[in-house]
Structure 1
Amino acid sequence: MRKLIESTYVTLDGTIDDPQNWSLDYFDDEYANYAGELLFGADALVLGRETYEGFAPAWMSRSGDPFTDRINAMPKHVATTTLKDLEWNSTVLPGDAVEAVRELKAQDGLNLLKYGTGSFSKALLDAKLVDEFHFWFFPVIAGSGSRLLDGLDITHFKHLGSTTFKSGVVVHKLAPKD
């Protein structure tokens, strides 16, 4: 059975909106190595609609390095009820998106990697389908925006490890407690 791993950027005040506005100054070799391990440990991406709409145009216009080539070549499974014609090697998760992810997890293969956090993440967490979260805490305060898993009931996690980069970014690797 494959694992579903979610990787999300977060500010110190819990904001997840518009990471391109506050995260880019912290990208370095340590960041690239960690992100590469996650990406190359997966053979497909799972995305919500909003993440897909942000990622597809940005990544499709790039090429030439192993990370970019990998992300562009991977199949993407998108949770959406509004988008019909997807690009970027992407397909709509059929029927109930949560059940479709359950079926993807049951298939043979490497991990499934999910970027971004929102209502789809909450549904996957409620269905006990997320195996690991990699929350990348950036040493910046956004001041406003959507908060990480806002509206979720009390949910406990077990700590699987933390990685601190020289840039000040700390990745907390967590798993939902049973």
Structure 2
Amino acid sequence: MRKIIESTFITLDGCIGEPHVWGQPYWDDQHNDYNAKLAYDVDAMLLGRATYEGFKDAWTQRAGDPLADRFNALPKYVASRTLTGELEWNARLLEGDAAKAVADLKAQPGETIIKYGTGEFDRALLENKLVDEYHFWTYPVIAGGDGYRLGDGFDVTHLKLIDQTVFDSGIVVGVYAPK
């Protein structure tokens, strides 16, 4: 069975929205190397609609960069209730119930799938115990404001720390598994 890894950027005050605003000062070689390792250890991406649209716009403009080329080449599976038809950027829409579609995807032959972005789609994945590993990138920044917070609307969920990486920039990536 395939494994799903979720990779999420988060501030010290729990904000996950708009990492392009608060995260960029910390995007250095260590950050890029860790992200590249994740990208090269998987054979597909799993995305919600908003992340798919944002990533497509950002990564397709960076063609020629080895990491961007990897992101652009990977097959993508997109959960959405609003997108229809054929998708761009080597992507396919997950049909029907998202949790069932992801469970079916995990049962197919293949390697690890990486999921980027955190939002409503995660509730279905969490409730159905479909994520095998979480990489929470905690940035040394307080975003403030009323942004979307990690875990908004979720039930209490216990995880166990299985690894951590500390970057010189102050980012700490905690790797967690379901308990």
Task: Pick the TM interval, shorter chain.
Answer: over 0.9
**Aligned partners of 1:112, 1:72: CA distance in 2, in Å?**
15
**Aligned partners of 2:141, 2:66: CA distance in 1, in Å?**
29
State the SS of the aligned residue for 1:166: coil
The one-letter code matched in structure 1 to 2:152 is D
Instruction: Say yes or no: does 1:31 pair with 2:52.
Output: no
Q: Which residue of 1 aligns with 2:178?
A: 176
User: TM-score, normalization: structure 2?
Assistant: 0.96
Supply the RMSD in Å over aligned alpha carbons: 0.9
Instruction: Say yes or no: does 1:44 pair with 2:44.
Output: yes
Query: 1:40, CA displacement in angstroms?
Result: 0.6
Deviations 1:15-64 (A, max 9, x none): 00100001111011111111111111111100001111211111112211
* 54-63 or 168-177: bigger deviation: 54-63
Find runs of 4+ consecutive structure 1 residues off by over 4 angstroms.
none
**Aligned length, in residue pairs:** 177
Instruction: Say yes or no: does 1:154 pair with 2:156.
Output: yes
Q: Which residue of 1 aligns with 2:77?
A: 77
**Aligned partners of 2:109, 2:40: CA distance in 1, in Å?**
16
- Percent identity over the alignment? 56
Query: 1:156, CA displacement in angstroms?
Result: 0.3
**Aligned partners of 1:13, 1:99: CA distance in 2, in Å?**
33
Instruction: Say yes or no: does 1:86 pair with 2:84.
Output: no
Q: Which residue of 1 aligns with 2:125?
A: 124
Query: 1:94, CA displacement in angstroms?
Result: 1.1
**Aligned partners of 2:105, 2:38: CA distance in 1, in Å?**
18
> Which sections of structure 2, spanning at least 5 residues, go unmatched?
none
> Which sections of structure 1, spanning at least 5 residues, go unmatched?
none
Instruction: Say yes or no: does 1:55 pair with 2:55.
Output: yes
Q: Which residue of 1 aligns with 2:66?
A: 66
Query: 1:153, CA displacement in angstroms?
Result: 1.2
User: TM-score, normalization: structure 1?
Assistant: 0.97
